Amino acid sequence: MKKDNLYLFTLLAISLVVFLIGYFAMVYMEKESNYQVLQFQIDSGKREAQEIATLVSNQLSHGLSREVVIQNLQKSIEGSNLEKGFISMLDWSGTGICHPDPQEIGVKNRLEASYARPLGNAIHTTEFYELVTNFSHGGEKDAEANKTIGTEIIFLYPVKNSDWIIAAHANVARIHEQFEELKLNLLLIYLLASATISLLALVMVRFLGSYYEKALEIKNEKLAEEVLSLTKLNSDLYDLKNQLNKNVEKDSQNGLEEGTNKIKNRLLTYSKDKLISIRVDDIAFINTEFSLTTITCLDGQKHSSNSSLDELMNGLDPLYFFRANRQYIISVKGIYEIFKYGNNQLKIKLNPASSKTIIISKNKVSEFKKWLNY
Q: Average pLDDT, whole number, for the chain? A: 81
- The CATH homologous superfamily for domain 248-372 is LytTr DNA-binding domain (2.40.50.1020)
Query: Can you give the pLDDT at residue 295?
Result: 93
The pLDDT of residue 84 is above 70: yes
Dihedral sign (CA 352, 356, 360, 363): negative
Where are the domains positioned within the chain?
2-191, 248-372
The pLDDT of residue 216 is above 50: yes
In terms of Cβ atoms closer than 10 Å to its own Cβ (0-12, 13-18, 19+), residue 112 is exposed
Query: Can you give the pLDDT at residue 214?
Result: 77
Q: How many CB atoms lie within 10 A of CB 253?
A: 9
The pLDDT of residue 252 is above 60: no
The pLDDT of residue 60 is above 80: yes
**pTM assigned to the model:** 0.51
Query: Can you give the pLDDT at residue 256?
Result: 43
Query: Can you give the pLDDT at residue 283?
Result: 92
Q: For residues 118-135, give the mean pLDDT.
A: 79
Provide the pairing of β-strand 274-279 with 266-271: antiparallel
Bond prior to 118 in cis (omega within 30° of 0) = yes
In this structure, CATH architecture of domain 2-191: 2-Layer Sandwich (3.30)
Asked if residue 229 lies in contact with residue 344, where contact means CB atoms within 8 angstroms, the answer is no
The band of 12, judged by pLDDT with boundaries at 50, 70 and 90, is confident
CA distances for 62 relative to 37, 59, 68, 73, angstroms: 38, 5, 12, 15
The pLDDT of residue 254 is above 60: no
Asked if residue 91 lies in contact with residue 97, where contact means CB atoms within 8 angstroms, the answer is yes
Q: How far apart are CA 210 and CA 6, in angstroms?
A: 13
Q: For 288, list phi and psi in degrees, rounded to 5.
A: -125, 140
User: pLDDT tens digit string along 138-162?
Assistant: 444 343 333 335 788 888 899 998 8
Query: Can you give the pLDDT at residue 210?
Result: 76
Asked if residue 151 lies in contact with residue 171, where contact means CB atoms within 8 angstroms, the answer is yes
User: pLDDT tens digit string along 284-343?
Assistant: 999 998 888 999 999 999 999 888 899 899 889 888 899 999 999 999 989 988 888 887
Higher-confidence position of 16 and 244: 16
**DSSP bridge partners of 340:** 346
Q: How far apart are CA 30 and CA 182, in angstroms?
A: 7
Query: Can you give the pLDDT at residue 146?
Result: 32
Q: How far apart are CA 351 and CA 336, in angstroms?
A: 6
